[in-house]
Amino acid sequence: MLKNSTITGWGHYAPERVVTNDELAETIDTSDEWIRTRSGIRERHIAGPDDHTSTMATRAAEMALDRAGLTAADLDLILIATSSPDYLTPPVSSQVQDNLGAACGAMTLAVGCTGFVYGLVTAHQFIAAGSYSTVLVVGAELISRNLDWTDRGTCVLFGDGAGAVIMQATDQKAGLLSHVLGSDGSGHEHLIQPSGGCRIPPTHESLDAGQNFLRMNGREVFKFATRAMVESLSQVMTEAGIEPKDIDLFIPHQANARIIEYAVQKAGLDPEKVIVNVDRYGNTSAATIPIALSEAFEARRAKPGDTLALVGFGAGLTWAACLFQLAAAPVSPNGQHEHPAVEGFIA
């Protein structure tokens, strides 16, 4: 029999160092006014020398395990969404598994900024099939080391961080109501880190040409993003038979406040039900949605029984959306895990 899933733990981590727009304007030909009006970003967290994708992912995961009242030994699977792993090989998911002291399988999903939603949908499928009962899903990115800090059209937009959730099986009415996973590789050149893979290996020439840095055609990605956001949201609502008013919280990928505003208006969503934190984090790629989700739980904006709409888009080009219903009551899959954080919500 198919099982339902719900989110029982959440956490996020951002490096200590906060860099404001004004600080960037000291070294780049830009201004706080330009960045704020074009993107909604005011500041971002930038990794220090001891921060790595693996360490940030581990911190967020530990917090999520703690919230769920679980330990790493309870995990059946680890999914890490990232496009900025510590190494191309080995997969960063194995580093996180080792850091946590978990004894389960682990895999990395490289689906650009869309990776976390792909991960959440994948985790649900394993739980629904009855294969696993507890899955850790993390979005973690250290993009600042992949940026050309002289390319003002790109570098001012991104930040570093990680967010994590624990998904668990439940018999309650909960889980994935609908989803869409999309990909259109014909647009791959619009958001690309050309060198570093096998096609353009890192040579003196490719490094001198800056091909190891992330390049973005902002205007093209903007056009794609607004379309993808609106269309995929509409698809998941239709599939689930849900109207905008039924959505309790909309957590979109945080790339640009203008893209979010456009989608909210087009989809007819209540702006009060939208999470926006791009002003404080910038675009942390696959980490934006889990960071925003974790903050929403912390602020009691995401509550038991809520229907969440999550939409991501990014490199590939890719997009993904899902409607996810949280369980209304605490989950104790093995009859031994209490859920203090969620119990607090219900009081």
Please list the active-site residues: 113, 253, 283
**CB 220, min distance to ligand UT7, A:** 8
- Closer residue to ligand UT7 in complex, CB, 55/254: 254
Query: Binding of ligand UT7 at residue 39 (CB under 6 A)?
Result: yes
The CB-side HSE value for 152 (13 A sphere, CA atoms) comes to 13
- Closer residue to ligand UT7 in complex, CB, 20/332: 20
**CB 256, min distance to ligand UT7, A:** 4
Query: Binding of ligand UT7 at residue 311 (CB under 6 A)?
Result: no
**CB 31, min distance to ligand UT7, A:** 6
**Which pair of tokens denotes residue 263?**
């989608």
Closest-by-Cβ residue to ligand UT7 is 218
Q: Which residues contact 345 (CB under 8 A, 6 or more apart)?
A: 300, 303, 304
**CB 330, min distance to ligand UT7, A:** 34
Q: Which residues contact 175 (CB under 8 A, 6 or more apart)?
A: 4, 5, 6, 124, 127, 128, 324, 325
| CA gap 161, 290 in Å, rounded | 10
In sign, the C-alpha dihedral spanning 314, 166, 91, 86 is positive
End-to-end CA distance of the chain: 32
Query: Binding of ligand UT7 at residue 152 (CB under 6 A)?
Result: yes
- Selected range binding ligand UT7 among 151-159, 160-168, 207-215, 272-280, rule: CB under 6 A: 151-159
| CA gap 20, 1 in Å, rounded | 51
Query: Binding of ligand UT7 at residue 136 (CB under 6 A)?
Result: no
Query: Binding of ligand UT7 at residue 196 (CB under 6 A)?
Result: no
- Closer residue to ligand UT7 in complex, CB, 143/240: 143
Identify residues 8-37 at the interface with ligand UT7 (CB under 6 A).
30, 34-35
- Selected range binding ligand UT7 among 91-99, 181-189, 213-221, 244-252, rule: CB under 6 A: 213-221
Query: Binding of ligand UT7 at residue 221 (CB under 6 A)?
Result: yes
**Which pair of tokens denotes residue 26?**
């000291």
Among 15, 314, 316, 330, binds ligand UT7 (CB under 6 A): 314
Site string for ligand UT7, 101-130 (x = CB under 6 A): ------------x-----------------
Query: Binding of ligand UT7 at residue 188 (CB under 6 A)?
Result: no
Count residues contacting ligand UT7 (CB under 6 A)?
22
- Closer residue to ligand UT7 in complex, CB, 140/156: 156
Query: Binding of ligand UT7 at residue 256 (CB under 6 A)?
Result: yes
Please state, in angstroms and as integers, the Cα–Cα distance from residue 205 to each residue in 75, 190, 195, 200, 214, following that order.
44, 22, 10, 10, 17
Query: Binding of ligand UT7 at residue 65 (CB under 6 A)?
Result: no
Query: Binding of ligand UT7 at residue 316 (CB under 6 A)?
Result: no
**CB 39, min distance to ligand UT7, A:** 5
Cis status, amide bond into 304, omega within 30 of 0:
no
Residue ranges in contact with ligand UT7 by CB under 6 A: 30, 34-35, 38-39, 113, 152-153, 156-157, 191, 218-219, 221-222, 225, 255-256, 259, 283, 285, 314
